Amino acid sequence: MKKILSKLEALSVAMIITLVLIVSVVLSQHLPDDKPVEGDLVTDSSLPTIIIDPGHGGMDGGCVSVDGAPEKNINLTIALELRDILTSLGYDVVLTRDSDVSIHDKGITGTANQKKSDMENRLEIINSYENAVAISIHQNQFTDGLYSGAQMFYSDSNDMSAQLASCVQNSFVKNLQPDNKRETKEIGNDLYLLYYSECPMIMAECGFLSNPDESAKLQSVDYQKQVAFTIATGLIDFISANY
């Protein structure tokens, strides 16, 4: 057990060091040449705000794992970890929710109406930032428990979203799921947030809760941290190439 823990700790340290190096390169490209960096990490206003949308919440639990765990909690835990990573590296980060709630308007009754209001309010948050990159965190499910692996979805309503999806998908293959053969998928207007978002945005299906092995991983704190690191790396790769 001690050997396993030491390996996990070493992996986490390696991930953090890698991410710090990536961010240092990105930020150095945006700092004036005549102003040396001193002290704390310095960000540039030209870099986008990163908006994280933890899918579902409150009365909407999302899909359910093979052992009964609701998707909403896994989404939130990964989102909070992702926020902490990006914030510690100097990024401005906004969450559409930071607890187990639906953000529908008060006074709305009926599940369908509450979900509609919740989605409209999430979109309002996302579109309230002129310079932003957004990602919605979700978990996948299928009738056959054999399927596994993360997959990124995007809409062609924003011409940068496809590249964002590719960056995060490639990060999953490189950093966490080397056997993942899934391709990014364009979904047109099938997903409300992605289609009407005014900034580059993707939905990250981090894995399949219908797959027993992957479901167990996705409920593991250590694996959730690795997923957050993987997403952060993909986001930073995209920002490095475009901002």
pLDDT in tens, 190-232: 999 999 999 999 999 999 999 999 999 999 999 999 999 999 9
pLDDT in tens, 226-239: 999 999 999 999 99
Burial 188-219 (b: 16+ CB within 10 A, else e): eeebebbbbbebbbbbbbbbbbbbeebbebbb
Nearest Cα to Cα of residue 64 among 150, 145, 140, 148:
140
- Ranges of each domain in the chain: 2-32+49-242
Length of the chain: 243
pLDDT above 60 for 36: no
pLDDT above 50 for 6: no
What would the mean pLDDT of 82-107 be, rounded to a whole number?
97
What would the mean pLDDT of 4-24 be, rounded to a whole number?
51
Class for domain 2-32+49-242, per CATH?
alpha beta
> In the prediction, which pLDDT does 15 show?
63
Q: What are phi and psi of 70, to 5 degrees?
A: -75, 145
